[in-house]
Amino acid sequence: MSFSPAEVERYARHLVLREIGGPGQQKLKAARVLVVGAGGLGAPAALYLAAAGVGTLGLVDPDTVSLSNLQRQVLFATIDAGRLKVEAAAEHLNALNPHIAVENHPVWLNQANAEALVSRYDLVLDGTDDFASRFAVSDACLATGKPLVSGALGRWTGQIGVFHGQPCYRCLVPETPPDAETCARVGVVGALAGVIGAMMALEAVKVITGAGDPLSGRLLIYDALAAETRTVRIGADPECTSCAGEPATA
C-alpha cells in the first residue's frame, strides 16, 4: 500500500517514529475502526483517528447536535446544531483528512444490531454513556473477536481500558450499577472529555500498529481535580458468562 506525496507530508511525524514508521502507517491506512457514540469521548477520538490516517472510520450515533454538546464535543460547531451527529462529523473529519473514508450509522447500537455492525470493522471504540449499549458492544466484540477500547467519564474523573478476549468489559462491570450516573445528570468538565477521548485514540493507534503496551487487561483512571492517574489490573471474573472459554489477554 503506497502513499501519495500529500500523505507522506501529512504523516511525516508518524513516518519518522521508530514504533510506527512506514509499516505502521500502512496498517493505519488499512484499518477499519468503529467509533460507537459521537459524543464527548467519540468526538475527540474520531478527530485524532482521522488525523492519524485510519483509513475507514465508522460512526454510530442516532442523535442530533445540540448547543449543550459543544462544551466538550469539539468535533462540532455552532452551525451544526440540529444536524445528525454522524453527518456533521463525517463532513468535519473529511475536511480534516480527505484521504480517509467515513461510514455513517445513524442508529442506536443494541443487542439486535451490534454484532452486524462490529463484524465490519477491525477495532471498536466505545464512548457511550449507557450500559445497555456498553454491554451490547462488549458482547459483539467477544462474538466477533474484535478488540475493544472502552472509555468513560463523569464530573472530573475518566477511565479507559482495552479488552480483547478475557477479561472482558463485563468482568469489570457485570451489570448496570444501581447508582449509574450520566454526564447529563451529574455534569462533566469539557476538557476531560478531550483527555480521555485522545487517550482512547492513542490506545487504538497502539493496537493497530503494534506499538508499545496497550492497556489490555488494565484500567487507567484519571482524576483531573487531583491531576493524578493510576492503573489497576482487571482480573477475569470466573463467574462471567460472557467471556467463558475466551483466551486471556496477553
Residue at 241 is within a domain: no
Residue at 247 is within a domain: no
All cell numbers assigned to 80: 451544526
Residue at 239 is within a domain: no
Residue at 190 is within a domain: yes
Work out how many domains the chain is built from and give that number.
1
Residue at 44 is within a domain: yes
- How far, in Å, CA of 38 to CA of 58, rounded? 10
Residue at 53 is within a domain: yes
Q: What is the pLDDT along the chain (250 residues), one digit of tens a residue?
A: 789 999 999 999 999 999 999 999 999 999 999 999 999 999 999 999 999 999 999 999 999 999 999 999 999 999 999 999 999 999 999 999 999 999 999 999 999 999 999 999 999 999 998 899 999 999 999 999 999 999 999 889 999 999 998 999 999 988 887 666 666 667 789 999 999 999 999 999 999 999 999 999 999 999 999 999 999 999 998 888 888 656 655 4
- Which CATH number belongs to the domain containing residue 222 in this structure? 3.40.50.720
Residue at 246 is within a domain: no
Task: Identify the domain containing residue 201 by its residue range.
Answer: 5-173+184-233
Residue at 151 is within a domain: yes
Provide the phi-psi class of 12: left if phi over 0, else alpha when psi is between -120 and 50, else beta. Answer: alpha
Q: What is the dihedral of CA 126, 159, 78, 67, to 10 degrees?
A: 100
- How far, in Å, CA of 166 to CA of 51, rounded? 31
